[in-house]
Amino acid sequence: MKNKRNAIFMPLFWIGLLVQNISNLFRDSLSDFPYGFLQGLSFVFIVAGFIFMCRCLRKRINPFTLKDL
């Protein structure tokens, strides 16, 4: 089960960072609703990944290693 969580939450964290950077890059060409939606989506993904990383830190597990998959 630990491997499945690592395979789900870490890519969500990286996708959140990527969406945030892309939405900031195109903020002048996006209208308010898509820009706000992308910012909110990226915030949710980043927070979910951060909570997972804090949980891994508490259990002394490295969330960045994919050798267990």
Query: Residue ranges of the domains in the chain?
Result: 2-58
Q: What is the pTM of this model?
A: 0.78
Cα distance between residue 46 and residue 51, in whole Å = 9
Mean pLDDT of the chain: 84
Q: Does the pLDDT at position 40 exceed 90?
A: yes
Instruction: Report in angstroms the alpha-carbon separations of 10 from 30, 33, 37.
Output: 27, 27, 21
